[in-house]
Amino acid sequence: MIRIVVLVSGDGSNLQQLIDSCHSGRIRAQIVGVVSNEPNAYGLERARLANIPTQVINHREYADRASFEVEVTRVIQEWKAELILLAGFMRVLTPAFVNRYSGQMINIHPSLLPAYRGLNTHARVLETGDRMHGCSIHFVTSDLDAGAVIAQAVTNVLPTDDLAHVTQKVRKLEHHIYPLVVSWLAAGRIALLGNKVYLDGQELQSPICIYL
């Protein structure tokens, strides 16, 4: 079974879905460790409750991004991980680190990329008045939130929706789509070649799109 490391910084609700999906067999893989750059991230507790090894690598204790990433790399290697999942991991990664794990590292982002790269996506969607919103799962490349998108889940935004509603709606989408995409990756059905995504050997002309 493929060996997965998950990187988190916060609550870890996506991590929880991934843990549950590995346990149920929906994802045929093993989460061999969870890394957090935040010592108090609740995601660490979720991992401990599931008997998954954890490692805190507090970025504040490192002189720069590169030395922080040396430690992250060491842990990933120690755990012999083959797939790296960013699940609410809020650190920008250097090109050297990203390139090292090209095709092996994916991220979930709370917007319909390429729209709303970066932070505070829900607030920006509400400010703009968009009626469609969602989340994207993409391969990580050195351009922030700009790697090839594998899949997106879409929901509507109602005029009455506030920030809490929108956050909740999109989080629900994330919990649905992340385990699904990881199950495909774990089964070897998804690959990145150049900057193109392949599913079952066929190049995707656009991201897989799920309306919920």
The residues assigned a catalytic role are: 109
| Among positions 19, 32, 57, 109, the unique one binding ligand GAR when judged by CB under 6 A | 109
- Tokens standing for 30? 């093993």
User: In angstroms, what is the minimal distance from the CB of 203 to ligand GAR?
Assistant: 26
Among 7, 12, 38, 157, which residue interacts with ligand GAR (rule: CB under 6 A)?
Answer: 12
**Under the criterion CB under 6 A, does residue 141 sit at the interface with ligand GAR?**
no
Number of amino acids touching ligand GAR (CB under 6 A): 15
Number of residue whose CB is nearest ligand GAR: 88
19: nearest Cα among 10, 8, 27, 11: 27
Residue 33 interacts with ligand GAR (CB under 6 A): yes or no: no
- CA 109, 43, 74 angle in degrees (round to 5)? 85
* Main-chain dihedrals φ then ψ at residue 27, nearest 5 degrees: -105, 125
Task: Tell whether residue 174 is a contact of ligand GAR (CB under 6 A).
Answer: yes
The minimum distance between CB 62 and ligand GAR, in angstroms, equals 20
Alpha-carbon span 86 to 124, nearest angstrom: 22
Q: Phi, psi (5° rounding) for residue 194? A: 65, -130
Cβ burial 99-126 (10 Å sphere, 16+ → b, else e): eebebbbbbbbbbbbeebeeeebbeebb
CB of residue 124 to ligand GAR, shortest distance in Å: 12
> At closest approach, how far in Å is the CB of 108 from ligand GAR?
5
Is residue 37 near ligand GAR by the rule CB under 6 A?
no
Establish if 113 lies at the interface with ligand GAR (CB under 6 A). no
Cα angle, residue 13 at apex, residues 9 and 15 outer, rounded to 5° = 70
Question: Which residues of this chain interact with ligand GAR, rule CB under 6 A?
Answer: 8, 10-14, 43, 87-88, 108-110, 135, 171, 174
